[in-house]
Structures are given as structure tokens and as C-alpha cells.
């Protein structure tokens, strides 16, 4: 039985770091293992201009622990008022790596997102022209659509029309949760990739609802049926270069999770690599872990893989139940299974 497994140092292609005290508390749990991360812009107020992104990047860099080598890859929050010239200038400067599309009201701090997609056509045209990728939160927010169907409907109503209107636009379907999304990616070879989270490889909707509501498993997009979880695992462990890791690690204090209307998000940064090693080994695909965590994402974004390595050791890891922050405790995601790898 293999006792160690060495891979190129991984990257996280979808990460929430928040700001202020929370940023300083959670960032070390990412920078310990990950060399780069796509940073989500849904702060309050959101990161909508190049100046916002520059200031946020500087706050992140100031919070990186001494001795850690970590590069934040910044994004802009797409609004109906986004200036194509500002986006192009930020890209030319090397300041931003992508632009993030949130349908208005889809998830945490998404009120400033897009409701009328015709109003962002000029921005998308410019992005296609300069080769700047679009990251999508793939859910519609129509109240008539069941929450478990929002991703499938988004593909039909929003994503596919956008890709037909802007065929040269590079698109990342972020944190996919359904077999429908997996099938859509596999059916489209050009300019389309998808991130998969750690927690969606592990939990289905029963983890949230069976035997009582468990708020720390509640995330958006919400976990779906077991058949969808299995489709995600098959995609992640396949080695297919269109699928790569985006943890969507999303810290919320317990006070904000354990409310009558609690926040969505799973904080997976501390134990993601241990969980992924377990999942890939369970599926007989440990040799594909490096592709999913370290190679496919850089290839899609046109970046080189990291030169450093990360070695996983076969030993039972120890993770805290929560981390303390000045804002209050943040519960660490519980994979509900034994883990046998330490990074």
C-alpha cells in the first residue's frame, strides 16, 4: 500500500477569503497548501472596478503568513454597469484573471449581480476579444424554479445562449452540482471548463436534511441527489482536463450559520487535500489527483503548473472542529468519513 503520494503543488480555482479579521484568520489554511487561488469578489461592497481589485489584492498579500508563497488571482464582480474599458485595462495590467457572473440574488452577497443579461453583452464581447475568462455562478433565481433545478435551468436559459452569442468567450462553470452540468461540459469541447468543490464530492442532499437540518452542510448551489454526486466524482477522477478543483471554501461564523435564515457555505480549506486524497483513493484514481488539483486548472487559464510539490502521507490527520476568529468560531467541514491522508 502506497505510504506517500507526491503531486505538483495545487491551486484553488474558486475561493472565498472575505476581508478584515476573517481574511487574516482563514487565509493561512489555504496558503499552507495552495500556491494560487481565484478570489471571489462578492464582498460588501463588491469588487467591481480595477481599483477595488487592486486594493483587495494588497490586503490579501498583507495577510499571507510569513514563509508562505501564495498568489491571489483577482476577479471582478460583473454588474450591469461594468465598464468594458476598465475590465480590459485591469486585464492588460495583469491585475485580474477572470470576471465573475452572479445572477442577482443567487448566493451570498449577490444582490449587485446581473438580472438583464443583454446589459452585459458589451463586456462579454470585450472579454472574448482579449481572452479574459468568465466564471459563472450557474443558477437562475426565478422563484418559480425549484432550487434543486436551478443549475439545469441556468444552462438552458442563460449559459447556452451566452455561449452561442459569444462563441470565443472562455467560460468556467463554477461549483457544478449535477449530472446535467457534467454532460454539458463533456458535450462542448471549445472554451468550456468546470470546477468541482470538495464538499460536493462527499455530500448529497440527505446530509443536509435527513435526521434533522444540518446547517454546516448547507451551501449554494445546494447539494443534490446521490446520482449527481456520483456523476461529479466520476468527472473529477476521470482525468478529463475540463474538470478541476475549485473548493468554494466559504467561511461563515457559527452565529451566522445557525440562524433561522442561515448563510450558505462550507469551510473546507483546512482539510480539502486530505478529503480529496481519500475520495480519489476510494475511487481507485489516486493517480488522477494531480491532474484535478494541479494541472487542469492552470491549463485552462493558460498558466504554467506550479514548480513546487506537495507530499501527502498516509497517516490519520487531525483537524479542529472549528477555527477561532475575532468574529467568532467558524466550523470546519466534516466529511462524515474517516480520513487516512495528511498533507
Task: Write down all domains in the chain, each with its CATH number in brackets.
Answer: 4-342 (3.20.20.140)
Q: Is residue 65 within 8 Å of residue 23, measured between CB atoms?
A: no
Cβ neighbors of 102 (< 8 A, separation 6 or more) are 42, 77, 78, 110, 112, 113, 114, 137
Where helices occur in 64-102 by DSSP H, the ranges are 84-93
pLDDT of residue 259: 96
* Whole-number percent of the chain with pLDDT over 70: 98
Question: Between 105 and 80, where is the model more confident?
Answer: 80
| Neighbour-count burial of 189, counting CB atoms closer than 10 A to its CB (0-12 exposed, 13-18 middle, 19+ buried) | exposed
pLDDT of residue 2: 82
Q: Which of 67, 154, 107, 118 is nearest to 248 (CA)?
A: 107
Dihedral, CA of residue 194, residue 290, residue 222 and residue 180, to nearest 10: 40
Residue 103 DSSP label: B
pLDDT digits (tens, 9 = 90+) for 30-58: 999 999 999 999 999 999 999 999 999 99
Q: Which of 231, 238, 337 is nearest to 280 (CA)?
A: 238
Cβ neighbors of 285 (< 8 A, separation 6 or more) are 237, 238, 239
1-5, 18-22, 78-82: which has the minimum mean pLDDT?
1-5
Distance of CA 144 to the CA centre of its chain: 26
pLDDT of residue 108: 66
Does pLDDT of 107 surpass 90? no
pLDDT digits (tens, 9 = 90+) for 163-193: 999 999 999 999 999 999 999 999 998 899 9
pLDDT digits (tens, 9 = 90+) for 278-295: 999 999 999 999 999 999
Confidence of residue 103 (pLDDT cuts 50, 70, 90): confident
Confidence of residue 111 (pLDDT cuts 50, 70, 90): low
Does pLDDT of 110 surpass 80? no
pLDDT digits (tens, 9 = 90+) for 250-270: 999 999 999 999 999 999 999
Share of the chain residues as helix, strand and coil, in percent rounded to the nearest 5: 40, 15, 45
* Whole-number percent of the chain with pLDDT over 90: 94
Q: Which of 52, 124, 60, 46 is nearest to 90 (CA)?
A: 52
pLDDT of residue 131: 98
Catalytic residue IDs: 248
Amino acid at each position: 500500500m502506497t505510504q506517500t503520494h507526491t503531486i505538483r503543488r495545487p491551486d484553488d480555482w474558486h475561493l472565498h477569503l472575505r476581508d478584515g479579521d476573517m481574511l487574516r484568520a482563514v487565509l493561512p489554511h489555504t496558503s499552507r497548501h495552495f500556491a494560487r487561488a481565484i478570489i471571489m469578489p462578492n464582498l460588501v461592497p463588491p469588487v467591481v472596478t480595477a481599483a477595488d481589485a487592486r486594493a483587495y489584492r494588497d490586503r490579501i498579500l498583507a495577510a499571507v503568513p510569513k514563509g508562505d508563497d501564495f498568489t491571489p488571482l483577482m476577479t471582478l464582480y460583473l454588474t450591469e454597469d461594468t465598464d468594458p474599458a476598465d475590465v480590459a485595462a485591469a486585464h492588460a495590467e495583469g491585475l485580474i484573471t477572470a470576471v465573475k457572473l452572479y445572477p442577482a440574488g443567487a448566493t451570498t452577497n449577490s444582490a449587485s449581480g446581473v438580472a438583464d443579461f443583454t446589459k452585459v453583452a458589451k463586456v462579454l464581447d470585450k472579454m472574448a476579444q482579449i481572452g479574459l475568462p468568465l466564471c459563472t455562478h450557474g443558477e437562475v433565481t426565478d422563484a418559480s424554479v425549484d432550487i434543486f433545478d436551478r443549475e439545469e435551468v441556468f444552462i438552458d436559459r442563460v449559459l447556452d445562449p451566452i455561449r452561442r452569442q459569444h462563441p470565443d468567450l472562455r467560460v468556467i462553470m463554477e461549483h457544478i452540482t449535477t449530472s446535467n452540468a457534467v454532460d454539458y461540459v463533456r458535450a462542448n469541447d471549445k472554451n468550456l471548463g468546470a470546477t468541482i468543490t470538495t464538499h460536493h464530492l462527499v455530500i448529497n442532499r440527505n446530509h443536509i436534511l435527513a435526521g434533522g437540518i444540518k446547517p454546516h452542510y448547507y451551501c449554494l448551489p445546494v447539494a443534490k441527489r446521490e446520482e449527481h454526486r456520483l456523476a461529479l466524482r466520476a468527472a473529477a477522477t476521470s482525468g478529463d482536463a475540463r474538470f478541476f478543483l475549485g473548493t468554494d471554501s466559504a467561511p461563515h461564523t457559527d452565529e451566522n450559520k445557525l440562524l433561522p435564515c442561515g448563510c450558505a457555505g462550507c469551510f473546507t480549506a483546512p482539510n480539502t487535500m486530505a478529503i480529496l486524497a481519500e475520495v480519489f483513493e476510494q475511487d481507485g484514481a489516486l493517480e488522477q489527483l494531480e491532474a484535478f488539483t494541479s494541472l487542469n486548472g492552470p491549463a485552462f487559464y493558460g498558466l504554467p503548473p506550479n514548480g513546487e510539490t506537495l507530499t501527502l502521507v498516509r497517516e490519520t490527520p487531525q483537524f479542529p472542529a472549528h477555527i477561532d476568529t475575532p468574529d467568532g468560531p467558524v466550523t470546519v467541514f466534516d466529511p462524515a468519513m474517516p480520513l487516512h491522508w495528511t498533507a
